[in-house]
């Protein structure tokens, strides 16, 4: 009697979810190591804008902690750019290259696919952000005074969860809106740098500006990290760190739920109309 070939086991549930996350994050982690030139462009070029603000602050004799604020903002900018161009616009680019149809018909969920992109991108971006902080600290003699190491870690993790949740949520919007969302990203990039306080404390703004800017998780995340990392941080903070932790946790939950809903809607739309990967006219 001939031997039958072994039947491959079909993975479902959380095992399939985790395997999808690993499979999608692996190319980004390995790709970051193969393209060593990206390390230079993503680490040294952002230092030019950081250096410009540092020289301005020192020219006007601003408090020395402002130099540290700039270095932290330059490092966190790497995460925002990764979310904006490698998360939010990713499904749109996958549509343009013809891979989106494969993602939709695959057994893995879109949430797992985008989470894999986030994990892979977060790994490479964290290395670059650390490079900016280390290089900036050495070049400009930044002095850190960490008030609570564990709160700092918690703020960073909550900021990343909320930020990449925002990226997963907007990925489906970018896909549905097509080029209009692409133009909006280019238009909104510099205003977001301003209202999020990448290079200065948001406390300097009128009260309504930080309220609007807090929709972007980096706004409160950077404010809390600066309060926890510098001697003058608490006096230059917008609200207390505890309030910012609660807001970041709330943003993380809201963005992840919204991302799941929008991605599910996008998949149902693709199945119903059968033309999500084509021009919707």
Q: Is residue 15 part of a domain?
A: no
Q: Percentage of the chain surpassing pLDDT 90?
A: 8
Q: Is residue 46 part of a domain?
A: yes
The predicted model gives 18-35 an average pLDDT of 76
Which pLDDT belongs to residue 123? 79
Range of the domain at 244: 41-273
Q: Residue 26 pLDDT > 90, yes or no?
A: no
The predicted model gives 31-54 an average pLDDT of 74
Asked if 53 contacts 199 with a C-beta cutoff of 8 angstroms, the reply is yes
Q: Is residue 61 part of a domain?
A: yes
Which pLDDT belongs to residue 239? 87
Q: Is residue 196 part of a domain?
A: yes
Q: Is residue 252 part of a domain?
A: yes
**Which comes out higher in pLDDT, residue 116 or 225?**
225
Q: Is residue 184 part of a domain?
A: yes
Q: What is the pLDDT of residues 91-102, one digit of tens each?
A: 777 777 777 777
Which pLDDT belongs to residue 233? 82
Q: What is the pLDDT of residues 185-219, one digit of tens each?
A: 777 777 888 888 888 888 888 888 888 888 888 88
Q: What is the pLDDT of residues 140-169, one digit of tens each?
A: 888 888 888 899 999 999 998 898 888 888
Which pLDDT belongs to residue 276? 58
Q: Residue 249 pLDDT > 90, yes or no?
A: yes
Q: What is the pLDDT of residues 57-94, one digit of tens each?
A: 889 888 888 888 888 888 888 888 777 766 777 777 77
Q: Is residue 2 part of a domain?
A: no
Domain count, the chain: 1
Which pLDDT belongs to residue 11? 60
Q: Is residue 19 part of a domain?
A: no
Which pLDDT belongs to residue 147? 83
Q: How confident is the model at residue 250 (pLDDT cuts 50, 70, 90)?
A: very high
Q: How confident is the model at residue 243 (pLDDT cuts 50, 70, 90)?
A: very high
Q: What is the mean pLDDT of the chain?
A: 80
The pTM of this model reads: 0.82
Q: How confident is the model at residue 281 (pLDDT cuts 50, 70, 90)?
A: very low
**Which comes out higher in pLDDT, residue 271 or 56?**
56
Which pLDDT belongs to residue 3? 55
The predicted model gives 217-226 an average pLDDT of 90
Which pLDDT belongs to residue 5? 54
The predicted model gives 11-15 an average pLDDT of 70
Q: Percentage of the chain surpassing pLDDT 70?
A: 84
């Amino acid at each position: 009697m001939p031997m039958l070939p072994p039947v491959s086991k079909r993975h479902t549930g959380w095992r399939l979810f985790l395997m999808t996350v690993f499979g999608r994050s692996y190319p980004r982690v390995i790709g970051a190591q193969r393209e060593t030139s990206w390390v230079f462009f993503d680490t040294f070029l952002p230092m030019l804008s950081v250096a410009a603000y540092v020289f301005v602050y020192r020219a006007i004799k601003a408090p020395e902690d402002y130099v540290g604020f700039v270095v932290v903002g330059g490092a966190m900018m790497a995460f925002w750019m990764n979310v904006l161009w490698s998360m939010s616009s990713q499904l749109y680019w996958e549509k343009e290259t013809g891979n989106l149809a494969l993602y939709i018909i695959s057994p893995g969920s879109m949430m797992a696919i985008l989470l894999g992109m986030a994990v892979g991108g977060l790994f490479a971006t964290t290395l670059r952000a650390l490079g900016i902080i280390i290089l900036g600290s050495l070049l400009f003699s930044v002095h850190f005074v960490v008030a609570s190491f564990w709160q700092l870690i918690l703020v960073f993790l909550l900021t990343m969860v909320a930020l990449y949740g925002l990226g997963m949520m907007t990925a489906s919007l970018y896909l549905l809106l097509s080029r209009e969302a692409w133009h909006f990203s280019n238009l909104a990039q510099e205003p977001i740098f301003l209202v999020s306080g990448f290079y200065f404390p948001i406390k300097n703004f009128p009260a309504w500006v930080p309220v609007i800017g807090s929709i972007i998780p980096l706004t409160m995340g950077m404010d809390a990290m600066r309060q926890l990392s510098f001697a003058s941080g608490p006096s230059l903070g917008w609200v207390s760190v505890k309030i910012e932790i609660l807001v970041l946790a709330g943003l993380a939950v809201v963005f992840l739920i919204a991302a799941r809903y929008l991605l599910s809607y996008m998949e149902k739309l693709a199945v119903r109309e059968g033309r999500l990967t084509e021009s919707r006219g």
